[in-house]
Amino acid sequence: MENQVTNNNFVAESILKIGSVSEVKGKNIIVKVDKNKNAPHLLYNGRIIKNVSVGSYIKIGKGYNEIIGKIEGEFISEDKNLDNNNYTNHKNIIKRFLNITLVGYIENNVFRQGLKELPLIDNDCYLLNDLEFNCIHSFAKVDDDKIKLGTLLNETNTSIEIGVDKLFASHIGIFGNTGSGKSYTLSKIYHELLTKYKHSNNFKNKTKLILIDFNGEYAVNETKDNIIICKQFKNRFFLSTSKNDGDRFPIPESEIDNLTFWSILLKATDQTQKPFLNSCLTKKTLTKNITTEEGLKNLIYNNIATILTQGSKSLDKDFHIYLLDELLKISNNNNLLFPNIKDIRLRLKSGLKVKYGSQIELDNIDHNTNAVEFLTKLKDIIFSLEVDISKLTTFVKIRLQITLNYFDVITRGYYSKEHIGPLFNRLESKFSEITKVFAVIKEDQIITNDRPFVIINLNDVNVEMKKIVPLVICKYYYEHYKKNNLERENYLNIIVDEAHNILSRNSIRESETWKDYRLETFEEIIKEGRKFGVFLTISSQRPYDISDTIISQLHNYFLHRLINNKDIEAIGRTVSYLDKISFDSLSILPQGGCILAGLSADLPVVIKIDPIPKDNKPHNETIILSSKWK
């Protein structure tokens, strides 16, 4: 019996042996292929197995050590010593050689990356048996929690399972041209995660996955929306800047009072506009008086009185009317906060006269000769203003603070219109948009509820707000976890589909300052977020447009077909996990096939993503025109 086992081993070795090492140069070696092993297939144990080919692996035996190498290429050479060799066939003159790159070794039936030692000349080389092949494609330990993503593209019997910890405690990048399958891969990854843990209370209470969906692929406004996971496990927000009845994403009041929030929204410059905004949010005379009817009237009165009595000669003579016009806009946009503001404006417009340069009269009361009576009359008019304080929301309060402070600092000459005027001019349009997409809440209901998955659909949001909304949300959640998750008890994964929309380094629609701030925010998340349990998943069809810093800091990559040379160059420049064969195959990958590379995979492998249940597929399938036209 023992002799039979020994004989079987000898037979196996003789069949699987394909050659021997002929040259060693560091991790790159050359293997001479045996003459009888040049066929494309071999017969082994009653099965047809593939012989050596570019992209496959071989085992090099060095004593009791089993070194694993990957075939990067092959070449032939003629035997120059024809006189001393008696060849019976001309083809025997040709010698076949393989270029091998060493990638690791097998120890105790476990594949390990890296090199412990190098092979020697004449060490025998073998094809991998089934056990060894499965060993190097097993990317998770037996006891690890894992998810199955698919199979090897060219060996569909070999499943690819990834350890949950290695994949999700990392930054993930998914890249590929339109139609290559990247949205499907993103859906598959998070479908498997949510399906595995959806009934775990710890998972639901300690995990938050926030998906920024630019094109409406992952959430549809239908009763039965099970994209990625059943509706009951997710919160969906359909934001819109084109209508008033869209969803509003909840943001805590503390965030709305934040200088960073308004600097992002209004694209404030560092030198002048940020200090001005800061004074709007922190000036005590504003913050104390803005929330009461009497205090608000006092602020308006003081502003108009200062304009009329202390304003510089360079001010427009109707500057006080401009202030009332701004208050009228605020009132009209907020269900008549000031019901009779038009009457007040008309009263001042008709009753106030400017005579002889700086001389002013109100209802025939001259300020120069009777200042007290003039100001008393002015105060009576202003205090006849009706104020519906119930309409004073957080957003309206902030807008009033900015408006009143703007007129005050311009009147007093603290700032010039040239410096802060552009910011103030952006105020009306930005407030109209921001109040359509955000709702102010006292407590963050998104973080505290037990639905782990949040999808924010930006399909009906205009281009400019598509850059601002994700930045505000990501910045807020990152800062929240940075302050409150030092022990890393909770997990946050921000998933950004079509990430080139907000991570582009080549945008010409915005100032350099704003672009730098946007990129620095996400670069900080990707460099420092791991310390606070915050991770980033980005998906894009244009890796070239994305900051190299961001791509290079990713830990795991799913690379679908890329055609554009600049995109391929960007991957080659920033992704260190790819070997030459994997990199060269980027432009010829089939739909649904992708290269998995990174910390979760010991070696880069080409995999075919498994199907997702029909109800869980993303809403982006290519239309079949012929079926519509028949």
Q: Are strands 234-240 and 453-460 parallel, antiparallel or unpaired?
A: parallel
Whole-number percent of the chain with pLDDT over 70: 93
Sign of the dihedral through C-alpha 97, 103, 104, 109: negative
Give the distance from CA 53 to its chain's centroid.
Answer: 38
What's the mean pLDDT in 245-269? 86
The larger pLDDT score, comparing residue 597 to residue 39, is at: 597
The pLDDT assigned to 91 comes to: 62
Distance CA 301, CA 312 (A): 18
Distance CA 457, CA 573 (A): 32
Query: What are 338-394's pLDDT values in tens digits?
Result: 999 999 999 888 888 876 556 788 888 888 788 899 899 999 999 999 999 888 888
The larger pLDDT score, comparing residue 36 to residue 611, is at: 611
**Residue 475 backbone zone (phi > 0: left; psi -120 to 50: alpha; other: beta):** alpha
Instruction: Write out the E strands in 464-522.
Output: 491-496
Q: Is the pLDDT of residue 506 over 80?
A: no
Q: Give the residue among 70, 77, 76, 75 at the shortest CA–CA distance from 28.
A: 70
What's the mean pLDDT in 63-69? 91
At 510, the pLDDT band (50, 70, 90 cuts) reads low
Cα dist. 332→326, 450, 575 in Å?
10, 39, 54
Q: What is the 3-state secondary structure (H, E, C) of 309-331?
A: HHCCCCCCCCHHHHHHHHHHHHH
At 119, the pLDDT band (50, 70, 90 cuts) reads very high
- Residue 325, CB-side half-sphere exposure with 13 Å CA sphere: 8
The pLDDT assigned to 442 comes to: 77
Q: Is the pLDDT of residue 308 over 70?
A: yes
Distance CA 558, CA 477 (A): 26
Q: Is the pLDDT of residue 569 over 50?
A: yes
| Phi, psi values for residue 334, rounded to 5° | -135, 45
The pLDDT assigned to 356 comes to: 52
Residue with tokens 């890249």: 175
| DSSP designation for 610 | P
| Phi, psi values for residue 627, rounded to 5° | -70, -25
| DSSP designation for 561 | -
Residue 29 near residue 21, CB atoms below 8 Å:
yes
Around Cβ 508, how many Cβ atoms within 10 Å? 6
Sign of the dihedral through C-alpha 456, 457, 462, 466: positive
Q: Is the pLDDT of residue 596 over 50?
A: yes
The pLDDT assigned to 188 comes to: 96
Round the average pLDDT of the chain to a whole number and report it.
88
The pLDDT assigned to 270 comes to: 82
At 82, the pLDDT band (50, 70, 90 cuts) reads low
Q: How many helices (H) and strands (E) does the chain have?
A: 23, 25
The DSSP element (H or E) to which 549 belongs, if any, is helix 548-552
3-state helix, strand, coil in the chain (%, to 5): 45, 25, 30
Distance CA 266, CA 406 (A): 14
Q: Are strands 172-175 and 534-540 parallel, antiparallel or unpaired?
A: parallel
Query: What are 134-192's pLDDT values in tens digits?
Result: 899 888 888 889 999 999 998 888 899 999 999 999 999 999 998 899 999 999 999 99
Q: Is the pLDDT of residue 496 over 90?
A: yes
| DSSP notation for 104-139 | EEEETTEEEES-S----TT-EEEE--HHHHHHHT--
CATH architecture of 161-244+443-629: 3-Layer(aba) Sandwich (3.40)
Sign of the dihedral through C-alpha 378, 383, 384, 385: positive
The pLDDT assigned to 80 comes to: 66
Sign of the dihedral through C-alpha 397, 399, 400, 401: positive
Q: Is the pLDDT of residue 310 over 90?
A: no
At 4, the pLDDT band (50, 70, 90 cuts) reads very low
Distance CA 243, CA 274 (A): 30
Whole-number percent of the chain with pLDDT over 90: 52
Range ranked top by mean pLDDT from 258-267, 431-440, 504-513: 431-440
- Alpha carbon distance, N-terminus to C-terminus of the chain: 69
Cα dist. 118→62, 106, 137, 264 in Å?
9, 13, 22, 55
What's the mean pLDDT in 212-217? 94
Distance CA 507, CA 519 (A): 11
Sign of the dihedral through C-alpha 383, 385, 388, 392: negative
Q: Give the residue among 140, 144, 64, 148 at the shortest CA–CA distance from 106.
A: 64
Q: What is the 3-state secondary structure (H, E, C) of 357-403?
A: CCEEEECCEECCCCHHHHHHHHHHHHHCCCCCHHHCCHHHHHHHHHH
Distance CA 478, CA 493 (A): 10
The pLDDT assigned to 5 comes to: 41
Bridge partners for 70 per DSSP: 57, 101
The larger pLDDT score, comparing residue 131 to residue 558, is at: 558
At 529, the pLDDT band (50, 70, 90 cuts) reads very high
- Residue 11, CB-side half-sphere exposure with 13 Å CA sphere: 10
Distance CA 44, CA 57 (A): 17
